[in-house]
Structure 1
């Protein structure tokens, strides 16, 4: 198994531009408790965290009971948007092509590490025809929130890949810190929800076409 390598993908802000539905669901969650929704850049700054941690960050002065209700309101808002057949967030340009290039390599395995729930990830994979694409799928239901390295460590265990042959692709400092804590390489993207200058990755890409080359550079062929 030592000849295998693993590329781990964040979802929101990295593979999928989900800011429209995130903002819509957040608006409904804050409205449910008659609270003022923070501005867009503040809301998007928490993308990647599990919902409990996200609401604790966005409204630290609100009591635990109200925050718990907001988490449930957010989840319900997502279900409502789906029921109304609202369009899911699109894949970022070039994402599918980059996934196909890596998947075609016999020595490369793919994984997901996301703050989404299992149900949320399943919807994304189904919507974009990505079911079966990933050898390991790590979601918020079964792990502490990023940047805890639990998701990456589990993906490594499931795939049998050593840390030196693994890399994380993400758009937030949570992704980069998670990768650092797990002892693997990290690639940042410039199109996500955290300022690119804040990421401090081992490599930065401006376009998905550059991903395969960055992976080769960091963890070998």
Structure 2
């Protein structure tokens, strides 16, 4: 039996355009310089207030970052409603989830910097909720790379970290997995480079979702 924990943004769905547009509008509202796409991609995976502070070079989330986070959250659904900013699955992800979801020797879950509402929206939109039996979000745990998301999923399912795979596209996913004692699988189709994922501790890098099947076993 294995526990397979997926990151969401940059791993299951391509949400960079949606996140960046919402971030761009948020920074404009607060009179901040418009962030670059690269800057936005670099913080995807972090809890939102920490991400916003980091984009401004702040060492931690201050009151302004919390205020900006609240504004970002108020905009997100509006921006998502625009057909130009949907969160599509990466090519090949559906086939992987539909293959491993029904297996009795695997438990699937999600560990994400999204809110609970945001994760549920993705799972419901793509009909994945039936397979994902455990999850932790930014509403539940400290921000990645803290290991709590993985550790709590292990505790809830009764699985050991050494029998757990964490699949993600960000350095924070790799660092979180290693801190929890789980196997870190980096995906090359997301927002961090292969070199960054390796430096962050990835045990293996996959270039296409179908390659996950051989590593999951």
Fold-level similarity (TM above 0.5): yes
C-alpha separation in 2, matches of 1:82 and 1:40: 17
- Return the offset for 1:95: 0.4
C-alpha separation in 1, matches of 2:58 and 2:196: 26
C-alpha separation in 2, matches of 1:31 and 1:15: 29
* Equivalent residue runs for 1:12-161 within 5 Å: 12-60=9-57, 64-83=62-81, 87-161=85-159
C-alpha separation in 1, matches of 2:91 and 2:208: 8
Worse-superposed segment, 57-66 or 19-28: 57-66
| Map of 1:212 onto structure 2 | 213
Helix, strand or coil at the partner of 1:45:
helix
| Map of 2:167 onto structure 1 | 169
| Map of 2:193 onto structure 1 | 195
Matched pairs, number:
213
C-alpha separation in 2, matches of 1:53 and 1:213: 35
Helix, strand or coil at the partner of 1:178:
helix
C-alpha separation in 2, matches of 1:66 and 1:167: 36
Which ranges in structure 1 are unaligned for 5 or more consecutive residues? 217-221
| CA distance 1:148–1:164, change in 2 (3 Å) | same
Q: CA RMSD in A?
A: 1.6
C-alpha separation in 2, matches of 1:161 and 1:97: 25
Helix, strand or coil at the partner of 1:132:
coil
1:6-64 Cα deviation digits (max 9, x unpaired): 11000000000001100110011101101112211111100000011101101135993
What TM-score do you get using the length of structure 2 for normalisation? 0.93
Worse-superposed segment, 198-207 or 107-116: 198-207
Q: Is the 8 A contact 1:7 1:108 kept in 2?
A: yes
What TM-score do you get using the length of structure 1 for normalisation? 0.91
Helix, strand or coil at the partner of 1:145:
coil
Worse-superposed segment, 131-140 or 181-190: 131-140
- Return the offset for 1:188: 0.6
Q: Is the 8 A contact 2:50 2:65 kept in 1?
A: no
| Map of 1:219 onto structure 2 | none
Q: Is the 8 A contact 1:28 1:73 kept in 2?
A: no
Helix, strand or coil at the partner of 2:11:
coil
- Return the offset for 1:84: 5.0
C-alpha separation in 2, matches of 1:43 and 1:82: 17
